[in-house]
Amino acid sequence: MIISRFSQVLKKPFIRKGAFFLRIGWLYPDLMGTYGDRGNILVLKKRCLWRNIIPIIIPVTKETRASKMAAIDLLFGGGAQDREQEIVQKDLYKKKGKVITALIARGIPSLFVCGSSQLMGMYYETAEGKKIEGLGLFKMNTLRAEPDQKRCIGNIAVEIMHPESLLGEKLLGFENHGGRTYLLDGALPFAKVISGSGNNAQDRTEGVIHNNAIGTYMHGPLLPKNPKLADYLIMKALEIKYQKNFSLTPLDDSLSQLAKNSLAEPR
């Protein structure tokens, strides 16, 4: 009994008086979470708790009322296959698209990976050629691959182009997509490709950024390999929520950097 109670105490974060809170919205965890994308939520949660920032994870499913999403401080969406994306797209248009659009317009920091990023674009084509309309938050289109085009799959290394505060930061991830994404005039790429395919295996761009919303093809999951990006999202969320500048307490990321260096070594 004593051990059991002690274990329960360990699971509860120590909450200092005046602690900060962040509501993290997790879009469709039951439908969109391929290639370890849920690991991004775990990283955001732990890096908050280690700094005495209290994360409140809000799973957003088809049953979630749109009104519940209005108070979200940080938004994340993972990847999925075409079938699940079509299910999500219908729910976005019927219920949640307007509130997500409003969140992005307010500058709420967001990370959309692969399928969820495509849903934030103008439209994407399924493998069968069916055109699925997106929310239009990202000025980009995703076309299905031509018969002679190979699937974009494997490790990817990029260098951030936007935002300016992360300019030049190198990221590692894993991509696996058949579609080719093309940015339209005025759209800003998130990064440039060092190795891998990126948006379309042609123009060396990777992802897209609008306000504080980032779209990317990098799975893996992305944030455990690249904790600086996780901290950027957390810091931006705090600044917008509390309307003041923040400087996050440094964490020991030596093991993460060691793993990153190992992955970056030529094979």
| Choice among 13-27, 115-129, 244-258 with the minimum mean pLDDT | 13-27
Tell me whether residue 179 is in a domain.
no
Tell me whether residue 182 is in a domain.
no
Sign of the torsion formed by the C-alpha atoms of 118, 162, 206 and 25: negative
Q: What is the CATH number of the domain that holds 75?
A: 3.40.50.880
pLDDT for residue 14 is more than 80: no
Q: Return the pLDDT at 10.
A: 37
Q: Which residues are tagged catalytic? A: 114, 219
Q: Return the pLDDT at 16.
A: 60
Structural domain including 137 reads: 20-145+207-264
Tell me whether residue 166 is in a domain.
no
What's the mean pLDDT in 185-196? 97
Q: Return the pLDDT at 266.
A: 60
Q: How many domains does the chain have?
A: 1
Tell me whether residue 188 is in a domain.
no
Tell me whether residue 162 is in a domain.
no
pLDDT for residue 2 is more than 60: no
Tell me whether residue 260 is in a domain.
yes
Name the CA dihedral angle for 196, 206, 62, 32, rounded to a multiple of 10 degrees.
10
Tell me whether residue 11 is in a domain.
no
pLDDT for residue 32 is more than 90: yes
Q: What is the pLDDT of residues 127-186, one digit of tens each?
A: 899 999 999 999 999 999 999 999 999 999 999 999 999 999 999 999 999 999 999 999
Tell me whether residue 215 is in a domain.
yes
